[in-house]
């Protein structure tokens, strides 16, 4: 069977996109998803995303990590799916869609910049050396020195698989402050089990964590990721962060077919 696919990337976080509105894709075939995401024997991607019909919103997002398993919310994947929905003419310039963590609103402009509303965040665990919070996916946020030379894969894996987060694990973000409202980050992603060039829920987590820690008083924060630049904005009401938006480029790379 020939499978038609589309490849998208958002600040270097790349995804295989499939139009599954006819529900033809074998969704329980973990090995197939992993093979499609494999960079040597497949298309190559950090994750695979199905666009499906939804009765109450414009579409449904079904997200798989590159290991083939369904996963929690992916911010950059959500932004790329919005761009994909526009290419398919499912939407025009704004949308509401459903994902594993609930309802999302988004806009996309003529320059392929997608602004995606993330979930509200209220529960933030601040410890001496790190902050933990869930922005649709769980994230450990830790300030480090010499971020460019930091061993993200080794140190990230140690935290992800360590006793701190149990069997489920966590994504892990290492951060360095550049100026009052700009931070650089590198992320170890569970499910990919390696560093990725960008993580949208991670960038969102870092922005909120840095505000909570008092590293910035800004409510619009610039994030430098390995694959480009993202912006996170929010409103703060007491200890709750609402109207959280992740903004950045989401670009079509290529499309093709592959035998499955």
Dihedral over Cα of 141, 130, 154, 68: its sign: negative
Residue 20 assigned to a binding site:
no
199 is catalytic: yes
> Which residue of the set 34, 50, 73, 74 is catalytic?
74
How far is the CA of 146 from the CAs of 30, 46, 193, 251, 255, in angstroms?
A: 38, 26, 22, 30, 38
Instruction: Find the Cα–Cα–Cα–Cα dihedral 99, 168, 32, 114, rounded to 10°.
Output: 30
Residue 201 assigned to a binding site:
yes
Residue 13 assigned to a binding site:
yes
Give the pairing type, strands 94-99 and 59-65. Answer: parallel
Instruction: Name the DSSP letter for residue 208.
Output: H
Residue 149 assigned to a binding site:
no
Instruction: Name the DSSP letter for residue 121.
Output: B
Task: Give the start-end residues of each E strand in 58-170.
Answer: 59-65, 94-99, 102-108, 113-117, 124-126, 131-134, 138-143
Residue 189 assigned to a binding site:
yes
> Which residue of the set 83, 199, 210, 225 is catalytic?
199
Residue 65 assigned to a binding site:
yes
Name the β-bridge partners of 113.
249
Phi and psi, residue 175, nearest 5°: -130, 145
10 Å CB burial of residue 128 (0-12, 13-18, 19+) is exposed
80 is catalytic: no
Q: Alpha helix (H) ranges present in the chain? A: 30-37, 75-87, 152-160, 200-212
Contact 73, 79 (CB under 8 A): no
Annotated binding site for substrate: 13, 65, 75-76, 171, 189-190, 200-201
Residues acting as catalytic residues: 74, 199
């Amino acid at each position: 069977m020939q499978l038609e696919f589309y490849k998208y990337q958002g600040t270097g976080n790349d995804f295989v996109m499939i139009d599954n509105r006819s529900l033809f894709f074998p969704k329980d075939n973990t090995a197939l998803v992993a093979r499609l995401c494999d960079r040597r024997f497949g298309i190559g991607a950090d994750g695979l995303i199905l666009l499906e019909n939804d009765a109450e919103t414009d579409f449904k997002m079904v997200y798989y990590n590159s290991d083939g398993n369904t996963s929690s919310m992916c911010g950059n994947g959500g932004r790329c799916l919005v761009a994909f929905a526009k290419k398919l003419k499912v939407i025009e310039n704004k949308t509401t869609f459903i994902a594993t963590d609930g309802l999302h609103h988004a806009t996309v402009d003529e320059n392929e910049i997608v602004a995606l509303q993330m979930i509200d965040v209220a529960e933030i665990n601040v410890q001496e050396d790190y902050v933990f919070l869930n922005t649709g996916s769980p994230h450990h946020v830790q300030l480090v020195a010499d971020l460019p030379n930091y061993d993200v894969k080794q140190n990230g894996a140690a935290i992800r698989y360590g006793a701190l987060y149990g069997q489920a694990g966590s994504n892990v973000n290492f951060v360095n402050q550049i100026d009052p409202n700009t931070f650089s980050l590198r992320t170890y992603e569970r499910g990919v089990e390696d560093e990725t060039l960008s993580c949208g829920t991670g960038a969102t987590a870092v922005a909120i964590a840095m505000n909570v820690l008092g590293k910035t008083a800004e409510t619009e924060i610039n994030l430098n990721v390995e694959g480009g630049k993202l912006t996170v904005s929010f409103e703060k009401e007491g200890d709750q962060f609402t109207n959280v938006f992740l903004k950045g480029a989401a670009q079509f790379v290529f499309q093709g077919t592959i035998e499955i």
